[in-house]
Chains A and B, each alone.
Chain A
Amino acid sequence: MLQGGTGTMNLMLGQKELDRIHHSLKKNLIDIGAQSSMLIDTAGNIIAVVNNGSDIRDVYSLAALAAANFGAMNSMAKIVGEDEFSLLFHKGRTENIHLSKVNRDFLLINIFTNQLSLGFLRMKVAEVIKDLLGILVAKKPAN
């Protein structure tokens, strides 16, 4: 169950939907070389995490900071006259983080090394977002 957005939105994802989310993240992102892929909500809760065996120990802190990062970015967008910025990319020496907005309530985080090209990742992220919207929107109750 999840509350998000400015109103009250309750959402219950069952085993079937969570399996579909895991499958999409694994097939489209982990199998092409991403280290870790996480679906979170904009309040910082983790909905799904899939990784390639590499251990990202503190996923809860990562989710909280990613949600905060996105919130700050949305405020920056408004200051410069944009409705939103839909993605964030942090480049490290070997590890990189790519954050994308799925919709008003959900964010997708990917951690990957320089061996995976950013362009390819972005292409696959777009496909995953389409999958995720299909799953999440179908489950969203009318408010």
Chain B
Amino acid sequence: MAFINLKEKIIQAKIVYYGPGRCGKTTNLEYIFSQCRGQVQSEMVSVKTDGDRTLFFDFFPFDMGKINEYDVKIQLYTVPGQVKYNSTRRLVLKGVDGLVFVADSASDRRASNVNSLENLQENLALYGRDICSIPLVMQYNKRDLAQQGTEVLELETLEEDLNRRLKAPFFEASAVEGLNIVPTLKKIVSSTMAALEEELR
């Protein structure tokens, strides 16, 4: 749940990009960071391994303007996707207000997507939280792979595998090309803000 500072009139909300390794979570944040420099007061923080894989998280705070006189600061995080970094993923999920699940459209990543979504639900359960009660947006990334001759999963297959029960809003995207990256962000921010307003009532 977001932290609301009544003295300074600031709301801090946490949005986490989750998904399997190499699905494009960091590329999402890098694209947003490059497009929204005016609303970001700091540098993007990336804690990476030597091999340039996310070790801890990528992070930057993002000014969203005002809601009811309160300055809204969205904190965008990614988690490390590699299976072995589960304790880090769990840590980043603490206090999450909104989730973007980034799925990899490549056909050979089908099982990884499903496993990562199950892992997300298990990790949320450790905090006593249910994925159905947290604002969620699905992003089917790497749709551009089809143009390069790589076999990609049909949209219906991705929806059936990942979103049949959750029925979250979804976007077909390409983080490297910037396709539907900002719309994904706008959707999760608006859902998260609506949920916070509801909770504040």
Contacts and interface: CB of A to CB of B under 8 A. Distances in A.
B87 A45 contact: no
Given A7-B128, A10-B1, A68 B41 contact: no
A4 B47 contact: no
B43 interface: yes
Interface stretch (A11-19, A26-34, A93-101, A125-133): A11-19
A90 interface: no
B4 A1 contact: yes
Interface of A: 1-4, 6-8, 10, 12-15, 18-19, 22, 41-47, 57-58, 60-61, 64-65, 67-68, 71-72, 75
Contacts of B2: 1, 45
* Most central of B1, B4, B42, B77 by chain A CB within 10 Å: B1
A42 B3 CA distance: 12
B155 to A, nearest CB: 34
Interface in B1-36: 1-7, 12, 14
Contacts of A1: 1-4, 199
Interface string B185-201: 00000000000000100
Contact of A41 (B75, B77, B95): B95
A43 B95 contact: yes
Interface string B57-82: 10111000000000001010100000
A61 B45 CA distance: 7
A2 B3 contact: yes
